[in-house]
Structure 1
Amino acid sequence: MRLDKYLKVSRLIKRRTLAQEACENGKITVNGKVAKPSANVKEGDLLSLTFGEKVINVKVVSVAEHVLKQDAADMYEVIQ
């Protein structure tokens, strides 16, 4: 699945256009490398999201095209 779509479906970022902008500005990394919005995301990948001075590290647990709002948080695991 595309990185920008995964970020939207998992509700880590509210809209897909915002996810695309974050990727293009180098604020999202996949497995330690700056990623483009079209980068492929699979289970086990480590994502790092930078929001201002806050950095969130997550591990991709599952990839699904459509997820209910209450199940979106089950798609990733926050890593400290």
Structure 2
Amino acid sequence: MRIDKYLWCVRYYKTRNIATEACKKGHVTVNGQAAKPSREVFPTDKITLRKDQIVYQLSVLDIPQNRVGAKLVDIYRRDTTPEEAFEHIEMLRLAKSHYRANGTGRPTKKDLRDINDFLDYEDDEDEVNE
């Protein structure tokens, strides 16, 4: 089975076209080699793919006949992605939401004044130190 079709069948990509584009961009490797979309996959192959800033590592256990349900995906692949990859994404998400909550929009005038005062304060310290 083609690698792009396999990744679509085991639900890593929503469409085959997206899976094909990922292969063309070099986000997918099979056994350590960059994979073209037409590359055949076989059981025991090791696939590495980069999606949403996570590098997934999986082993092919079996080849499905067509796209499978989410509950049946584990029959056809073994996910060996380290937990650190998911923790890293969670830390990035928390860091982005730390300063301003989602949906609060642009900085207010008060926020801008506070930022400018802070930056001016740092500039004043630099001039005093020289």
Q: TM-score, normalised by structure 2?
A: 0.58
Q: Which residue of 2 aligns with 1:26?
A: 26
Q: 1:5-55 CA deviation, whole Å, 9 max, x = no partner?
A: 100111121110000000000000000000000000000000001124310
- How far apart, in 2, do the equivalents of 1:68 and 1:26 lie? 25
Partner of 1:71: 72
Match in the other structure for 1:43: 43
Aligned length: 80
Distance 1:67 1:51 in 2: 19
What amino acid is aligned across from residue 15 of structure 1 in structure 2? T
In structure 1, the gaps of 5 or more residues are: none
Deviates more, 1:2-11 or 1:69-78: 69-78
Task: Name the aligned partner's letter for residue 19 of structure 1.
Answer: A
Q: Can you give the 5+ residue segments of structure 2 that lack an aligned partner in the other structure?
A: 83-130
Between the aligned partners of 1:47 and 1:10, the Cα distance in structure 2 is: 12
Tell me how far apart the structure 2 counterparts of residues 55 and 25 of structure 1 sit (CA, whole Å).
14
RMSD: 1.2
TM-score normalised by L of structure 1: 0.91
Q: Identity across aligned pairs (percent)?
A: 34
For residue 41 of structure 2, what is the amino acid of its counterpart? V
Q: Which runs of 4+ in 1 moved over 6 A?
A: none
Q: Supply the distance in 2 between the matched residues of 1:20 and 1:57 (Cα, whole angstroms).
A: 18
* Secondary structure of 1:5's aligned partner: helix
Instruction: Name the SS for the 1:71 alignment partner.
Output: helix
Task: Give the structure with the larger strand fraction.
Answer: 1
